[in-house]
Amino acid sequence: MGPLIDYMGTSGPRALRIELTATVSEAVRGSLWNLPAPRSDEAMNLHVFLTTINVPSSEASPDFFSWTVDGDKLQTFSSSKTWSIVRERQPIRSWHKMVWFKGHIPKHAFTMWVSVLDRLPTRNRLASWGMLTPISCCLCSSSDKSRDHIFAECDFTKELWRRMQAKLSGTTTTFDSWPQLLAWCSQNVSKSQRALRNIAVQSIIYNIWAERNDMIFNNKVLTQLERFKLVDKNVRNIISARKTRKEFKHLMVLWLV
């Protein structure tokens, strides 16, 4: 029946002659239910139901809490099961493995995640919010600074991708669009290659955004070679810190070849 206040209505406490905050023990006297004769269909249904269960007694067994999660009664509270029920579920995204993978760097993964969602405060987004800001790219000054431009179409960025591709596959292929970059990351390759791609891509995304911030807020500019040296250092440090993990065992060789 659910909570009695919902089933009996606001007049329930008066009809059953028990307080709104009463406990079960206050509705019991000895071995009998201490309730008045029913005067409504709801009260009659309650009386009928109570005849099917034993009258609670402290002498029978001690009380205990029972958590019901998705139809399962638990003797102890499970935060993980409760969270899985109360949280709002969303379909699994096709890009989740290139953002959240074993061994990712939290700040790199977060920047990648926000980038995939196109939530970074790029100049075109700031302008769309009514802020008076130039919309040209601060890295190349040749186009509107959008997510797709700064991470795929900008000349500064293309050089970083070219250097990364040269280290990973020996080719100098660059990405002409953001979807093309995501498609390359999701290609069906070995686990080691996929892990190295994800590490390198996230490091470049993070460093591109760091370059943008340094240029705007710190008036600090690095060349493409200097910025890629930071990417290279990031990748090496990430691999070295996880060299004992099976999936990271041969990554340094792949990156240095």
Indicate if 118 and 229 belong to the same structural domain: yes
Q: Which of 41, 59, 86 is the last residue of a domain?
A: 86
Indicate if 56 and 107 belong to the same structural domain: no
Q: Is residue 200 domain-resident?
A: yes
Q: Which of 29, 63, 86 is the last residue of a domain?
A: 86
Q: Which of 86, 121, 143 is the last residue of a domain?
A: 86
Indicate if 121 and 178 belong to the same structural domain: yes
Which tens digit of pLDDT belongs to each residue from 56-111? 877 777 777 778 887 788 878 888 888 888 888 889 888 999 999 988 999 999 99
State the average pLDDT over residues 205-223: 93
Q: Tell me the C-alpha distance between 44 and 21, whole Å.
A: 22
Indicate if 119 and 216 belong to the same structural domain: yes
How many Cα neighbours within 13 Å face the side chain of 69?
Answer: 16
Question: Is residue 172 very low, low, confident or very high in pLDDT (cuts 50, 70, 90)?
Answer: low
| pTM assigned to the model | 0.70
Indicate if 149 and 194 belong to the same structural domain: yes
Q: Is residue 91 domain-resident?
A: no
Burial 32-62 (b: 16+ CB within 10 A, else e): ebebeeeeeebbeebeeeeeeeeeeeeeeee
Residues in the chain: 257
Domain count across the chain: 2
Indicate if 64 and 120 belong to the same structural domain: no
Indicate if 70 and 105 belong to the same structural domain: no
Indicate if 216 and 101 belong to the same structural domain: yes
- β-pairing, 72-74 vs 67-69, is antiparallel
Domain residues for the domain of 178 are 96-256
